[in-house]
Chains A and B, each alone.
Chain A
Amino acid sequence: MTQDRSKGEVWVFAEQEEGCLGDVPRELLGKGRELADRLGVPLAAVLLGDGVESLAAELFAAGADKVHLVEDPELKVFRGKAYRHAFVELIREEAPQIVIFGATHMGRDLAPAIASALRCGLTADCTDLQIGSYTDPKTKEEFDGILQQIRPAFGGNIIATIVNPRHWPQMATVREGVMKPLEPVPGRKGEIVRHDSHLAGVDIPVEVLEIVRRHSSVNLKGARIIVAGGAGVGSKENFRLLFDLAEALGGAVGASRAAVDLGYCEHERQIGQTGVTVRPALFISCGISGAVQHLAGMQDSAKIIAINTDRDAPIFKVANYGIVGDLNVVVPRMIKAIKGQA
């Protein structure tokens, strides 16, 4: 490839399931818009599937200048090899400089395989992306306009900034719920560019027999108020209290990994590095000590109330209000006070 890669587009992978885009592509386009504007290049969404052209309008409204569209019956349902093959060919043809994916199950399956095929770098689970410079500490060679891939590492105890200045494209997966989508602009126009899937004659070794969707009643990302419990809640029965508090406030119930591992509540309620990232207006933390992995998923909440018996628990370091006490006493008092206000 002879093109100057620094003129390449910024791409985001617009993952869809059953013809629906979900929140992730819009979050990626929000960040992608910022990166593309900074570099002065177009922002494009990559849309793979079968009969999905109508989704392009949503992607334009969310900030894309262009949609690279690949339609093929083989791409109807996500299968790693088919998606990888089509995506790799598209990157070879179009030479984008940056490609970002959601750190979803699909993105974390697809992105590594693409990076492996193209022998380029990939940073997983970024919590921020910026454009900046890099100086090679050995050769002193300087690189400008490089993607700074920022991610927690080592169990969330450090934040690393990763760059790959000599390999193209620069790729990253981005944690769900971390980037902010733009306010949609209905009717915003863009260009649809159709591409061949290059899948003719490619053997796909996987047949999808059945998909059972979990119809989750839990919507932590959209909740304005979250009441979350940890190991300190002590039992599944005690967790009911948190549901009562959430109900009184019109909020949702979340949990730390410890509480999920102890079986106090379902996995889909897990908040933190290996769960959901949330930023509600109010986060009430009950019996959570505050491991860094958990804090990574909630510390950007606008207001945090921490209830814990241990005065030295790290959770108090990120809290705005701290109550040192037994949640089994404090939570009922809180419910009573809220009901008294109503």
Chain B
Amino acid sequence: MKNKGYHSVVCIKQVPDTKKVTGEAMKADGTINRAALPAIFNPEDKCALEAALRVKEKCGGTVSVVTMGLPKACDILRVALMCGADRAYLLTDRRAAGSDTLATSYILSRAVGSLKPDLVFCGRQAIDGDTAQVGPQIAEKLDFAAITYLEDIEMDGDHAIVTRDIGTGVEKDRVKLPALFTVTDRFGELRPMDVRRVMKYKRAKAPVENGGVAMEGDLAITQLSCDDVGCESDRCGFAGSPTNVNKIVSVVLAGGDFKEIPASEEGVRGLVAELVADHTIG
């Protein structure tokens, strides 16, 4: 393992850019028009890719990226290849639709496990769900050590020395491989794309984008189905998801009493006097 470097697998996700929820993305009934939001490379998954690329840079080895999603998620696989990933895998299957975190982690664990990695990197959480559940659940299913909130990593033979955020401070651990890491944006930003790799990998395609034909050599994005990775049907999609959505309510900003105060000295003084009078301050 030390001589030929480490095999890292990075789980990445294409997500709607939830920060861009503006007027145009809201429907008349106040719900979100998801289609109007740009699809982006989940920010912390980029940090996860950066972590894997740094390990490769220092110790050698290969970096594979895996995504589960619609065929258009190949866009982020191409970005990963342009930044330095060696191999890309698209897991796309109608049976995966409706998967909650439990079913998603099951399907991804099957795909990731089949690649026999030493290291698995995931973003801490995706901005559409913010659950931070899929990474730790993949680790549990593969019986890998799980290190959450990774901030730094150094390799030491078949161990990694890691720094992780524990909320009340930071912790340094020695972890036996194989291990899975969830990476936060404090790890560092993804490096820029390499110009030569951009020219090359813009032509990388999955069969689903290429009339069902696989591309030659390293321009091939490997396409996988639930069957290809040996998933049991009743653990995928809606069938494999214990959680149900009972109700969805759009957030409507509810204003209470509102009073506009002039920005003038008198206005501000009046406000302060009012707050002192009702014992909010003072």
Our verdict on whether A and B bind, yes or no, reads yes
Are A112 and B258 in touch, CB under 8 angstroms? no
Q: Does A207 contact B (CB under 8 A)?
A: yes
Which residues of B are interface residues toward A (Cβ below 8 A)?
16, 18-19, 21, 31-32, 100-102, 105, 127-137, 139-141, 145-149, 161, 165-176, 179, 241-251, 253-265, 267-269, 271-273, 275-276, 280-282
Asked if A323 lies at the interface with its beta carbon under 8 angstroms from chain B, I say yes
Q: Among A17, A292, A340, point to the contact of B251 (Cβ < 8 A).
A: A292
Query: Which of A104, A116, A163, A342 is the one whose CB lies under 8 Å from B137?
Result: A116
Assembly CA distance A341 to B175 (angstroms): 59
Q: Which of B165, B173, B243 contacts A164 (CB 8 A)?
A: B243
Q: Mark A257-276, 1 if CB is under 8 A from B, else 0.
A: 00000000000000001100
Q: Which of A106, A155, A321 contacts B18 (CB 8 A)?
A: A155
Which residue of A164, A214, A337 is within 8 Å of B168 (Cβ)? A214
Nearest Cβ distance between residue B209 and chain A, in whole angstroms? 27
Q: Assess the A320–B257 pair: CB atoms within 8 A.
A: yes
Partner pick for A282 among B128, B131, B246, B275, CB 8 A cutoff: B275
Q: How far is the CA of A225 from the CA of B276 in the complex (A)?
A: 13
CA distance A275 to B260 in the complex (A): 29
With contacts A81-B145, A157-B32, A160-B248 known, is A249 near B281, CB below 8 A?
Answer: yes
Question: Given known contacts A323-B271, A341-B272, what 17 new A-B pairs fall within 8 Å (CB)?
Answer: A105-B149, A108-B148, A119-B102, A121-B242, A157-B32, A159-B248, A159-B249, A162-B245, A164-B244, A206-B173, A209-B161, A211-B166, A211-B169, A318-B255, A320-B258, A337-B271, A342-B282
Contact with B along A153-193 (1 / 0, CB 8 A): 11111111111111100000000000000000000000000
Whether A112 contacts B260 by the Cβ 8 Å rule is no
Decide if B148 touches A124 in the complex (CB within 8 Å). Answer: no
**How far, in whole Å, are A157 and B167 apart by their CA atoms in the complex?**
26
Q: Which of A125-176 contact B (CB under 8 A)?
A: 125, 134, 136, 148, 152-167
Chain B, Cβ-Cβ closest to A124: B131
- Separation in Å of the A235 CB from the closest CB of chain B? 20
Q: How far is the CB of B273 from chain A (nearest CB, A)?
A: 7
Tell me if A122 counts as interface (CB < 8 A to partner B): yes
Chain B residues with Cβ below 8 Å from A108 are 132-133, 136, 148
Among the 9-residue stretches A28-36, A52-60, A326-334, the one with 4 or more Cβ atoms under 8 Å from chain B is A326-334
* Residue numbers in A under 8 Å from B265 (CB-CB): 333, 336-337
| B32, B134, B256, B282: the one within 8 Å of A341 (CB) | B282
Whether A121 and B102, one on each chain, are in contact in the complex, defined by CB atoms closer than 8 angstroms, is: yes
CB-contacts of A208-258 with B (<8 A): 208-214, 225, 249
